[in-house]
Structure 1
Amino acid sequence: MKPQDFDFLSSLLKRRSGLTLNPDKVYLLESRLTPLARRSGMDSLDALIAELRRSGSETLLRDVTEAMTTNESFFFRDRTPFDLFRDQVLPMLYQRRSTTKKIRIWCAACSTGQEPYSLAFELKKQEAKWRDWSIEIVGTDISRPVLQKARDGVYSQFEVQRGLPIQLLMKHFTQEGDIWRLSEDIRKMVTFREFNLLDNFAALGKFDVIYCRNVLIYFDQPTKSNVLDRMRGLLPTDGTLFLGAAETVLGITDRFRPVRGQRGMYLPSDAEPNLMAAVGG
């Protein structure tokens, strides 16, 4: 790939999705976009790049962006954030939201839905406790195809074997040939919508808990800082943020603080000291 073509594509992807690519990722562009070129009726990646330069087709721009999106996800990924949700966050919210009995949870960059559905499973286990509460789980992603898969709740044998306890598989899924279909009562607990983390957050509303795991690693430092600062604006002072195991707020933003002893869990920097002590290890 010519250096000027790499610069063109990397700039395009940064502008549209926040994805930052270094020159050593040329192979990634070639391996993901060459098949797209063929599916689009072009004989080479060079032809696809030329068409992007010429027409700026929104459909083609979207296809390129989606092709470069990493959609790795599985049920109860890294386990700890879900244990903390069950053991720390939910009891805290049950106490602190007892007047309104409303909770909103956002799973940003949710891919094919395993993360928000994992949270739904935890809530379903305590169904009686939350019966008269309004609990909304919102899953968002930039990619339409993965959102449709998430809404359908249809997973392969390989996908349900990654992190999903056998008891939950048997209880909440129906096998249909080579695939497993998630039950409607779990699917209706999650709302999926298309959303780009570079866009204005205002339309999303406020949340009590935000999961933004394993996406910031693809952004540069200013973009990470911008996204985290704007997420802080969606949370109350007793809200909770979860990041991926390889991610941190340290050196990026001063609007969140890590919770001591609780990997991947963060509270707003202005959270009450007694709250920080209550959830800290």
Structure 2
Amino acid sequence: MPEYRAHVDAVIQFANGGSLSTEGFRLDLPSADASADDISRLLVQHLGLTLVGSVTLSNLEIVEEQHRGSRGIETAPAQSAAPSRRVVDLSHVIRAGLVTYPGLPAPTITPHLTRQDSRAKYAPGTEFAMDIITMIGNTGTYLDSPWHRYGDGADLAGLDLGTLVDLRAEVFHVTDIASRGVPASVFWDRDVTDAAVLIHTGWDRHFGTPAYASGSPYLDTAAVEYLVGQGAALVGIDALNIDDTESGGERPAHSGLLAAGIHVVEHLTNLGALPARGARFTAAPPAVEGFGTFPVRAFAIVE
């Protein structure tokens, strides 16, 4: 079978500033019909680059030539001699009056049975509290199922627990990128297939304040298409919304991800405590029929 390589010049701009230029770079290709986007992605993976904003190719020539062993970034993290296990809570606390998304109702918590009243119902020294919480599903840190966007999609009760529990987490720390929209190229250096893709923007620092409502980061359309194409299991963000809510009524991220059966978790927090690789992520809502969105206790286990 013939083998092919790209001979190419490239300028790589990083999302958090700076650039890298190459001249006459040679890169193994899977086939002769690799597109410019394919070559850009392979170049980023071969060099092991992170937080790439854009790749511009020039003087591209694809030639029949024996492979030299181009590679992608290593995915296995180094293991310490004596690993320690910790659980990192990634959920906001829900309390009465909490404003998660401006314009949506805050939860109310009222007693159904107080401890004092329960004393008349149980044996001496035995008491209970039973309370009622009324809230919209979009409260705190919550998961969107396909039913949230599509009437024929799976509701919360129809979700496969295997796609919600103990997922390999790929954490992308993008707190210093220049744009609000997180681009596809940020994800090129990792294998995100069947992974929980967690986007750490740092916007959770504004949670519960008026500043949280405007200027929030989001996932751009090309990034959505890339994550769908790569078969991510779940995409989470520590911001107001996975979509740009300031661009009108369109919601390309919700539409694309949920149509592909990729769960969406919004309003995460504390993602800065996670390593880029090596954590395991869980975010499971209750199995409620005919319901599309509900709070989760999202957490990660780091060995």
TM-score scaled by length of structure 1: 0.25
Greater C-alpha radius of gyration: 2
Higher relative contact order (CA 8 A, sep 6+): 2
Could you tell me the TM-score, scaled by structure 2's length? 0.24
Identify, as 1 or 2, the structure richer in strand. 2
